[in-house]
Amino acid sequence: MKTTYREAVRAALRDALQRDERVFLMGEDVGRYGGSFAVSLGLLEEFGPERIRDTPLSESGFVGAGIGAALGGMRPVVEIMTVNFSLLALDQIINNAATLLHMSGGQFNVPVVIRMTTGAGRQLGAQHSHSLEGWYAHIPGLRILAPATLADARGMLWTALQDPDPVLIFEHGSLYNVAGELEDDAGPVDIDKAAVRRQGTGISLITYGGTLPAVFEAADRLAGEGIDAEVIDLRTLRPLDDGTILGSVGKTHRAVVVDEGWRSGSISAEIAARIGDEGFFELDAPVGRVCSEEVPVPYSKHMELAALPSVERIVTAARKAVGGHG
Positions annotated as catalytic residues are: 59, 128
The H or E element that residue 215 is part of is helix 212-224
DSSP 51: T
Q: Is the dihedral of CA 263, 265, 271, 277 positive or negative?
A: positive
In angstroms, how far is CA 91 from the centroid of its own chain?
21
Do 291 and 263 form a contact (C-beta atoms < 8 A)? yes
Residues 292 and 311: their CA atoms lie apart, in Å, by 13
Q: CB of 319 within 8 A of CB of 312?
A: no
How far apart (Å, rounded) are the C-alpha atoms in residues 175 and 123? 15
| CB-CB neighbours of 243 under 10 Å | 11
Going by C-alpha positions, the residue among 224, 222, 282, 225 that lies closest to residue 258 is 222
Burial (CB count <10 Å: 0-12, 13-18, 19+), residue 277: exposed
Q: Rounded CA gap, 8 and 291, in Å?
A: 28
